[in-house]
Amino acid sequence: MYSIEHSILDYKVTDDDLSIYNPYLKKLKGIIDENSHLDRRELADLLISQRPDIVSEYSFTIPYYDILKKAASYSPIVEIGAGSGYWARCLSEFGADVIAYDSFPPGEQSPWEWDKGNSWFDDTWFGIIEGDESAAAHHPERTLFLAWPMPMSPMAYKTLVHYKNAGGHTLIYIGDPNPASSGDEHFYNELANHKLVEKSDLYSWPGIHEKLLIYSME
């Protein structure tokens, strides 16, 4: 049985949340409010049944005011593996200066190139530049932002090494810090060499244990 503690079911939307453009959070709270007659477990099951479609429209992580404000305070930012660019869009709403890369920007491949497209997201919310892990080396003056890098994949580790070797100074990581969920063992071994300066448990999808971790690379 998955946990539903500290999930989006517990999040109280604030006036600050309503002051920013965030249709992802609005959609989820609409589903929750419209089905308030259900008990928590039933409501969690309903959300999970709709998660694949909603995630593919927006992002894995649900942004909300306080966590966006914290991440945006580390502007300027370079995001690698930006997916739909939804987080880049939300951060830019806070005035953050964001450059976003993805190896396969959604919506840019030919319909005949099904093997070269983005398998997670159909469209973009932000201008995504085509670029792989090495793009991080071009922006050492920016904070590196990684949200849910592929599990059991060297992508996150390679990105971090490129960034660090170029003189990068700060990493913002969002995900479940477990190689089975996000990143690989090399990535977490590398993070262990650096100072963790901030840590936040996020209000996420039921059953998802998600954190925001901020590391100093210096």
Q: Return the HEC string of the chain.
A: CCCCCCEHHHCCCCHHHHCCCCHHHHHHHHHHHHCCCCCHHHHHHHHHHHHHHHHHHCCCCCCCHHHHHHHHCCCCEEEECCCCCHHHHHHHHCCCCEEEEECCCCCCCCCCCHHHCCCCCCCCCCCEEECCHHHHHHCCCCEEEEECCCECCCHHHHHHHHHHHCCCCEEEEEECCCCCCCECHHHHHHHCCCEEEEEEECCECCCCCCEEEEEECC
pLDDT tens across 49-103, in order?
999 999 999 999 999 999 999 999 999 999 999 999 999 999 999 999 999 999 9
CATH for 1-218 (3.40.50.150, 3.40.640.10, 3.40.50.620, 2.10.60.10): 3.40.50.150
**What is the domain partition of the chain in residue ranges?**
1-218
pLDDT tens across 43-64, in order?
999 999 999 999 999 999 999 9
pLDDT tens across 142-162, in order?
999 999 999 999 999 999 999
The confidence band for 117, taking pLDDT boundaries of 50, 70 and 90, is very low
Q: What is the pLDDT of residue 2?
A: 76
Q: Note the pTM of the prediction, 2 decimals.
A: 0.91
